[in-house]
Amino acid sequence: MTDTDEDNTLSVQIANQIINVANSRLEDGVAPDDVAAGMRHAAANFSAFTATHGEIDPNILIEEFAEMLGYYMERHSPSGSAPAGLNQLIDQAKNEL
């Protein structure tokens, strides 16, 4: 296993822990849109913290988020593809970097 594989495994483990918290909030009756908004807020807040402390380039954050969002939109979409508008937004974000 390479360092990248280990990092990805750790990041997936952390993501799964956060998803468990989100699922718990859904079970408590919180609306899915509110849970998702809270998760985006937390992700943006912590990502900005790491970026301002020299840990990661903000442009990389934007590109990674766009790629992850597109990937998961395809996974969760009944048709197996992300909506056209999202694909255009992802391409625009990549081109602006």
Select the more confidently predicted residue: 85 or 43.
43
HEC profile of the chain: CCHHHHHHHHHHHHHHHHHHHHHHHHHCCCCHHHHHHHHHHHHHHHHHHHHHCCCCCHHHHHHHHHHHHHHHHHHHCCCCCCCHHHHHHHHHHHHHC
Task: Give the pLDDT band (50/70/90) at residue 1.
Answer: very low
Q: What does pTM read for this prediction?
A: 0.69
59, 93 Cβ separation under 8 angstroms: no
pLDDT value at 82 more than 70 = no
- pLDDT, tens only, 35-73: 999 999 999 999 999 889 987 888 888 899 999 988 888
